[in-house]
Amino acid sequence: MTQHKLILATDLDGTFLGGSDAQRKALYDSLNARQDALLVFVSGRDIDFIRELVREPGMPHPDYVIGDVGTTVAQGRDFVPMPQVQDAISRRWGDSGARVKELLKDEPGIELQPTPFERRVSYYYDPALLRPETLTKIEAAGFDWLLSAETFLDVLPKGVAKGPTLLRLVEELKLPSDRVLVAGDTLNDLSLFETRLKGVAVGNSEPKLMQAIDGFDWVYRSPHPGAAGIADAIRHFDMALEAA
């Protein structure tokens, strides 16, 4: 068994995929060069997007993926679903998709995202038009909602988000939690920081996330954007390659 010095559980858009091309390449090269790092993508994206993404030359392949805002969990080269974590989420969601779409079909300021959903339903929202009553309605129906980047509204099974699913994965794999570093940039990453695992909010983080993590002293605020912020945090927490 490899002893992992770094278990990087990172958001994609704006975080792992953020920063300049040179900053991204530097992080990806450093991860590809080490055997003592475990990589987990934790994203609002679905597996199809990530399958395409890892075809890009130089892009590190994640060991595990938590996709669809914490509702999908997969492992390995072929993104094989992990029933030991995912089944509980499926049971909680049941076949709520149609019900959620029906419930929200006439609500102003939201538009369904063009993605096939399994254990969630996601919309684009207009901050000027979205009504608080819409969110109340979602809660009353027994679901969680999540707003992020002033753009995305996710309807999720109650209690499910990126952070709780990551904790379940860490527990399932018996990973040393003090070696985990979470990274994010928007409010849908807040639940990652609420785990109290070591964290980095990258330099381009949205102001609402920065406000929400006020007082979280286990989260490092990097001045550097995206991938450069992650590389900075790896040094900050002394999780860089041995002898580096």
Q: Please report, as ranges, the residues that interact with Mg ion according to CB under 5 A.
A: 11, 13-14, 185-186
- Which of residues 13 and 63 has its CB atom nearest to Mg ion in the complex? 13
Alpha-carbon gap, residue 138 to 143, rounded angstroms: 6
Is 186 or 222 the residue whose CB approaches Mg ion more closely? 186
Query: Is 96 or 186 the residue whose CB approaches Mg ion more closely?
Result: 186
Beta carbon of residue 210, minimum distance to Mg ion (angstroms, whole number): 14
Q: Is 5 or 152 the residue whose CB approaches Mg ion more closely?
A: 152
Q: CB pairs under 8 A, 24+ apart, for 205-209?
A: 205/14, 206/148, 206/149, 206/150, 209/184, 209/185
DSSP three-state, residue 130: coil
Task: Tell me the closest approach of the beta carbon of residue 211 to Mg ion, in angstroms.
Answer: 16
3-state secondary structure of 43: coil
Separation between Cα atoms, residue 179 and residue 136, nearest integer Å: 38
- Is residue 231 a contact partner of residue 27, using CB atoms and an 8 Å limit? yes
Q: Whose Cβ is closer to Mg ion: residue 107's or residue 185's?
A: 185
Nearer to Mg ion, 154 or 185 (CB): 185
Give whichever of 31 and 42 is closer to Mg ion, judged by the CB atom.
42
CA–CA distances in Å: residue 142 to residues 99, 104, 147, 194 = 11, 14, 17, 22
Q: Which residues of 152-161 are buried (b: 16+ CB within 10 A; e: fewer)?
A: bbbbbbeebb
- Structure tokens belonging to residue 154: 């996710």
Kindly state the smallest distance separating residue 157's Cβ from Mg ion, in Å.
Answer: 21
Secondary element (H or E) of residue 13: none
Minimum CB separation from Mg ion for residue 68, in Å?
A: 14
Q: How far is the CB of 66 from Mg ion (least distance, A)?
A: 13
Q: How far is the CB of 186 from Mg ion (least distance, A)?
A: 5
State the minimum distance, in angstroms, from the CB of residue 77 to Mg ion.
24
3-state class (DSSP) for residue 200 = strand
Phi then psi for 133, rounded to 5 degrees?
Answer: -60, -35
Residue with smallest beta-carbon separation from Mg ion: 14
Q: Which two tokens stand for residue 158?
A: 């109650």
Return the structure tokens found at 208: 């609402």
